[in-house]
Amino acid sequence: MDIIIGLLIIAVGAFCQSSCYVPINRIKEWSWESYWMVQGVFAWLVFPLLGALLAVPEGASLLDLFTAENSVNIWMTILFGALWGVGGLTFGLSMRYLGVALGQSISLGTCAGLGTVLGPIMLHIFYPEAGHLAKLTWAVIIGVIVTLVGISIIGVAGNMKAAQLSDEEKKAAVKDFNFPKGITIALLAGFMSACFNVGLEFGSSLHFENTPDIFKTLPATLLVTLGGFVTNAVYCFYQNSKNHTWGDYGKTSLYLNNLLFCALAGALWYSQFFGLSLGKGFLTDSPALITFAFCILMALNVVFSNVWGIILKEWKGCSRKTIVVLVLGIIVLIVSTFIPELLK
C-alpha cells in the first residue's frame, strides 16, 4: 500500500509541474526574461527553502547541516544544479518550437533516462568503493528502456503531426513550430536537465539522522535549485540589459497580478520535487523504485504535459491514427512506472 501511496504522490507532483505554464499565461506586460526571473525566485529559492526547513529538526539549522557535510558533495550538488539551469533555459525554447506536449515529451524523456543512469555512474567515478553502480539493477534499466520507448512513440506521433498539418494549422497550434530546430534544442535540454538528479545523488547524504524519510531529499533539492537559479539569473539579467526591459520591474501597478501568478507558477513547478521527496519516503521498501523514482516523475510529467497539449488544442487537426499513436505512447509511459516493482 505504501508503494501505491508513494507513486500517487509523485503523480500529483508531476501534474502540478505540467500545469505550471498555465498561470504564466496570465502574466501581463512583462518580457519573458522578467517573468522568468521572478517566477524563478519563487520556484528555485523561496519554496525550496521552505521545503528544506521541513527536514530540519528542532534545535538545528540548515547551516549546521551544510557545514557538517563533505564540501565536495555540497559543491558538486550546486554545480550540477547550475548545469541543470542551462537545461531549464533551453527547455523553454523547445516548447517554443515544438509546443508544450512534444517539447516537454522529448526533453523530459531524455532527462528521465539520462538522469536515472548518470547519477549512480557519476557517484561511482568519485566514490568507486561505495558500490553506487549496484543501484542500476536490471529492473531499473529495463524500466528506463520502457520509458524511452514510450517517449519515442510520442516522438513518432509528433513527427506524424508535423507531416500532416498545413503551415497555417502548425502556426495556429504552435506559433513558431519548427520540428528540426525544436528536436535539437529539446535533446540538449534533456541532457542538461538530467543533471538535476545527478545533483540529488551527490546530495543524498544531506539530511539529519532523525529527518523523516519523506523530507530527506529536500535540503539537496534546495542546493540544486540554488545552482540553477544562478544560471538563470545571469541569463535573464543579460536579456534585461540587451532588450532594455529593466523597466518591467518598475511597473508597480502590475505587481499584484504578476507576482501572484509568478508565485503560483513557482509553487506548481516546485511541487514535482516536493512530491518526489514525499513519494520516496513511501518507497523505502523498494530500492529499485527509489533509484527509478526520478524517471517515474519525468515519465508522468510527459503524460500530463500531453494531456495539457490536448486541452490546449496542440493536436487539433491531426488524424485519428496520430492520436492513437500518441495515446499508445502515454499508456507505455504509465506502465513503465511499475516495471521495477514488477521485475524485482
Q: Which three cell numbers stand for residue 342?
A: 514488477
pLDDT tens, position by position, 73-108: 999 999 999 999 998 888 777 777 777 667 767 787
Domain that holds residue 40: 2-343
Residue 198 has pLDDT above 70, yes or no: yes
User: Is pLDDT larger for residue 167 or for residue 191?
Assistant: 191
pLDDT value of position 100: 62
Q: What is the pLDDT of residue 339?
A: 86
Cα–Cα nearest to 110, from 181, 175, 189: 189
Cβ burial, residue 30 (10 Å; 0-12/13-18/19+): buried
CB atoms within 10 A of CB 140: 24
Element (H, E) at 142: helix 138-164
User: What pLDDT digit, counting tens, does each position of 131-153 carry?
Assistant: 888 888 898 999 999 988 988 88
Domains in the chain, number:
1
Tell me the CA distances in angstroms from 231 to 64, 74, 117, 236, 248, one per residue in order.
26, 17, 24, 9, 20
